[in-house]
Structures are given as structure tokens and as C-alpha cells.
Amino acid sequence: MINMTLDEFQTSLQAPTPPKELSLALQGLWHDAKGDWNAAHECAQNQDDEQGAWVHAYLHRKEGDKTNAGYWYQRAGKPFSKAPLEIEWETIVMSLL
């Protein structure tokens, strides 16, 4: 975990690049919030653990690929989310910070 609040994470979205101390999973969520799904997916894909899988699941759910999302939720050890995407994003960010 890093020493950053949700508000600080959201404020960092004004910068052109994510803070260097962020994990790849958090960088993925940062890029997602900036509208760059491909960069977000690449970051999630490159963090080969449950956190990366959780972000990967969220991204495929957002994309509308429920089958692929289900696979990644299972890899993350998380239930398939039914929360609004904005709430799930915030939940994941807060959990990973």
C-alpha cells in the first residue's frame, strides 16, 4: 500500500502521467479514469497477481466482455461486480491504496 488518499489519487489525474509510486494495478485505474482503456489494460495485464486481476476484471466488465471479466474476477478471488462502474472503480482504488 502507498501513502495516498482517494482524494490525492483523484487530484493526480490532473497530471500528464501517473505518480511513480503507484502499482501497475493503480496505474491501470489511473489511465482508465483518464479515458485510456488500452494503457489501463496493459498495466493490469502486467501485474500478475490478484490486484492486477481485479483491475483486469473491472476493465473487461466496463468494455462489456462479461465472459472475460468473469474469468478475471475468479482469478482475483472476487465476486462478479454488479455495482455501477464508478463505484467499483472507487472501491478498487481505495482497496489498493
Does 18 map to a domain? no
Q: How many domains does the chain have?
A: 1
Domain span at residue 71? 23-96
The tens-digit pLDDT sequence of the chain (97 residues) is: 578 999 999 999 999 999 999 999 999 999 999 999 999 999 999 999 999 999 999 999 999 999 999 999 999 999 999 999 999 999 999 999 9
Provide the residue type at 48 as one letter.
D
Q: Are 72 and 53 in contact (CB under 8 A)?
A: yes
pTM of the predicted model as reported, rounded to 2 decimal places = 0.95
Does 33 map to a domain? yes
Does 90 map to a domain? yes
Please report, for the domain that includes residue 48, its CATH number.
Answer: 1.25.40
DSSP-based three-state secondary structure for 79:
coil
Does 49 map to a domain? yes
Does 65 map to a domain? yes
Alpha helices in the chain (DSSP H): 6-11, 24-33, 37-46, 50-63, 66-76, 85-96
Does 9 map to a domain? no
Does 7 map to a domain? no
Does 27 map to a domain? yes
